[in-house]
Amino acid sequence: MLTKTLQESWSQFLEFIVEHCSATEYENWFASIRVLDASGEEIQLEVPNIFVQEYLLENYKKDLCAFLPIRPSGEPAIRFVIATSQKKILLPAPLPVAEPQEQGAPHPDLKLNPFYTFNHFIEGPANQFVKSAAMGVASRPGKSYNPLFIHGGVGLGKTHLLHGIGHYIRENHKKLRIHCITTEGFINDLVDHLRNKSIDKMKRFYRSLDVLLVDDIQFLQSRLNFEEEFCNTFESLINQNKQIIITSDKPPGQLKLSERLIARMEWGLVAHIGVPDLETRVAILQHKAEQKGFRLPQKIAFFIAEHIFNNVRQLEGAINRLSAYCRLMGLDMTEDVVHKTLAELFQYSPHKKISVENILKSVATIFGVRVNDLRGDSRTKAIAFPRQVAMYLAKEMINESLMRLSSAFGGKTHSTLLHAWKKIANQVETDEMLRRQIDMARRNLEV
């Protein structure tokens, strides 16, 4: 009967987690864990990578011990197995790589923002996974996850992490040749070399790199001619176990790029960077203030973080403006001053914060149904489908625990919500009409 007990204990642990963490955290860390065996004295869990294992033990050891048997050493009785089933695809033979580059500095023209280091990147539940992945790749380039694909919304620290990897490798793997480029930069480079008939030189350069950092790959969409050259460069490097890190505003599957390139990008580790929660935003604000040499009172930090919640760049803009204003006017930082200085940035007042209620209203209007029906139990398609769309939007737009979100839908369970989210997320990739409806709802909510 042990089988059932261990399996059940694990399920109970997950239920506990669902109640205590945000949807993003759950999705990043817990959703992919599988129970391989629960029949012995320890539970065997399959985790997608070592970061998940470390994260669990670092952050939830106490809770794991509360739900699962404990070893004499005090550790929870878990045996972790790292999933080996990386989606392998057969890559074509490497493209002919030219003679080794002329020996020069190993970091030709590496331009990195000096502030974008790992040390200056503040961790919270929404970005811990991606930060560990970035640090993992930086410490063993080409040997862990390749490529590492980082995606998430604007101003959430993708470029920061990319440069963080660059800094780390430059300092700790001095012999490696790194290049960091925006996708626009890559395209411009290509255009220049095509014009100067020096394309071979460019190929030689890219193919001699050990680490390639590519920012904002979404700009490669609908640039067919360039996509192919990028894909060739990419394959050539990957085939030689050279590390590639890519950032994007969408996951690979949602990019309008060739299937070949999408499959390559999904090959390694795809990591999402979410919107930081309130505590993390406060920590970021205080860190940025410290970097700029002033102290931000706790109360003010909370005040700003409560008003600006979906973009770290705006948080930074807020304290820049605030410090400049106070210095110029010789004022103390009070809530009143903050209010005056930042009025524009506070375009979303807290009561306009996106809520399940607003989402339901917006979706009901778009689909011509009633809010009460969406909250109800009707399973007819005309109601159930918009309800799933609303659940999808709630999970995408509100950083709350799945538990709380689902109960706002008239007491649905978190697995209903997760199921709806997955279904709509898949469908939206191919269903143009649905995509438009969702965009409309989003715009509606963000105004």
CB of 24 to ligand ADP, least distance (A): 13
Which CB atom, from 158 or from 170, has the smaller least distance to Mg ion? 158
Look at the block and give the residue holding tokens 């394959």.
Answer: 235
**According to CB under 6 A, which residues from 12 to 71 bind ligand ADP?**
none
Nearest to 133 by CA among 275, 274, 271, 276: 271
- As given in the structure block, the two tokens for residue 295 are 């102290």
3-state secondary structure of 189: helix
Among 38, 68, 156, 356, binds ligand ADP (CB under 6 A): 156
CB of 215 to Mg ion, least distance (A): 6
Which CB atom, from 310 or from 341, has the smaller least distance to ligand ADP? 310
The entry of ligand ADP, Mg ion, none near residue 24 (CB within 5 to 8 angstroms by kind) is none
Nearest to 195 by CA among 183, 207, 205, 187: 187
User: Side chain identity at 31, as an amino acid letter?
Assistant: A
The entry of Mg ion, ligand ADP, none near residue 155 (CB within 5 to 8 angstroms by kind) is ligand ADP
Which CB atom, from 156 or from 338, has the smaller least distance to ligand ADP? 156
x/- site string to ligand ADP, residues 86 to 125, per CB under 6 A? ------------------------------x---xxx---
For residues 103 and 356, give the distance between their C-alpha atoms in angstroms, rounded to a whole number: 59
- Residues in contact with 27: Cβ distance below 8 Å, sequence separation at least 6, in sequence order: 272
- Closest residue to ligand ADP using C-beta atoms: 157
Look at the block and give the residue holding tokens 């930081």.
Answer: 276
Among 49, 127, 323, 406, binds ligand ADP (CB under 6 A): 127
**According to CB under 5 A, which residues from 348 to 387 bind Mg ion?**
none
**Total residue length of the chain:** 447
Q: What are phi and psi of 94, to 5 degrees?
A: -55, 145
**According to CB under 5 A, which residues from 159 to 178 bind Mg ion?**
159
**According to CB under 6 A, which residues from 157 to 176 bind ligand ADP?**
157-160
Which CB atom, from 75 or from 123, has the smaller least distance to ligand ADP? 123
For residues 171 and 36, give the distance between their C-alpha atoms in angstroms, rounded to a whole number: 40
Which CB atom, from 107 or from 281, has the smaller least distance to ligand ADP? 281
- Residues in contact with 99: Cβ distance below 8 Å, sequence separation at least 6, in sequence order: 204
Which CB atom, from 219 or from 302, has the smaller least distance to Mg ion? 219
Which helix (H) or strand (E) is 292 found in, with range? none
> What sign does the dihedral 439-441-446-447 (CA atoms) show?
positive
Which residues form the interface with ligand ADP (CB under 6 A)?
Answer: 116, 120-122, 127, 154-160, 284, 312-313, 316
